[in-house]
Amino acid sequence: MWTLLKQSPEAGRPTIRKCVIACPSSLVRNWANELVKWLGEGTINPFAVDGKATKEELISQLKQWAIASGNQVVRPVLIVSYETLRLYAKELGSTEIGLMLCDEGHRLKNGESLTFTALTELNVKRRVILSGTPIQNDLTEYFSLLNFANPDYLGSRADFRKKYEMPILRGRDANSDEKTREKGDERLKELFGLVNKFIIRRTNDILSKYLPVKYEHVVFCGLAPFQRDLYNHFVTSSEVRKLLRGVGCKPLKAINVLKKLCNHPDLLELPDDLHGSEQFFPDDFVPKAARGRDGRYVNVCYSGKMLVLDRMLARIRQDTNDKIVLISNYTQTLDVFEKLARSKG
């Protein structure tokens, strides 16, 4: 981007005058900060649409950015969220945008979405999609992304479906014959040969020589006595027995209860989430709703996982200065982690 804004084969003239960076709203300010970090303060003056301006002010600012040309372009880089760009694309009119960078560009996998349509209607000469999300096996979505970055390179949607998508899908069918599979493999190889000309893939292999050796350990944690009682009570309940007979209609709810229970009973609203569980409450157990200020603390003895984590953290803190990252699928579990960490100072 910087090179295109400052250089070209013609001396004293840049390749592009304007650049648009489209990204999720949460990354707009981060992009602006990164430009300053890597290019230096005052080197470039980005126009970051961070939601602080009123609707009228934003429309006026976008129109001014659009009509500026030549040396009048004082803020060459527009950083804007996908949602804002979709809503105000018409304000940019037909201004020539030399480069568009689409961060988290896998959002454009739906070629019929309003965002996709709005971005393709802008007068953009060069489009780049940035994404750390692997593209799945849906060839329709794959075509949308490829066609956005390099319009008409693979023909129309119908052409792509006829020449590549259908033969490849037929070849993947478990019941296809050898000739069909060979044709599918040939078309897939041909497709990769074409798209690899404008796709750059970077895996973690590129960083492997700079990173220390990674060791992965799987630690199996048994249930604490309180957890085990609640677990057995739930799996033998009438609700679960109905599900096993195919009568119930909420299997995901039951799975969710088991997941939370295996992390820590505090993730459940007891006894409401497990009717009849009062009989298993330890003498020192207090339901969350009745804890008051004591709710800031977590009893690790109620969870096998949490007990192991508590001991691991204590040992790591004692023997090293290492930093630790705790990850969970549930924000509620992160709250329990936080309570544990705070209780240990």
Half-sphere exposure in the Cβ direction for 56 (13 Å, CA): 0
Architecture of domain 2-144 in CATH?
3-Layer(aba) Sandwich (3.40)
Highest mean pLDDT among 3-12, 80-89, 171-180: 80-89
242-271 pLDDT, tens per residue?
Answer: 888 887 667 888 899 999 999 999 999 898
What band does 294 get if pLDDT is binned at 50, 70 and 90?
A: low
Tell me the average pLDDT across 145-156: 93
- At residue 51, does pLDDT exceed 70? yes
85-100 pLDDT, tens per residue?
Answer: 999 999 998 899 999 9
- At residue 345, does pLDDT exceed 90? no
Sorted by where each begins, the domain ranges of the chain are 2-144, 152-216, 225-343
Residue 213's pLDDT is: 86
- Mean pLDDT of all residues belonging to the chain: 90
Alpha carbon 150 to its chain centroid, in Å, reads: 24
- At residue 1, does pLDDT exceed 80? yes
Identify the CA nearest to 4 among candidates 111, 86, 121, 101: 101
- 161: exposed, middle or buried (Cβ count in 10 Å: 0-12, 13-18, 19+): middle
Tell me the average pLDDT across 289-310: 83
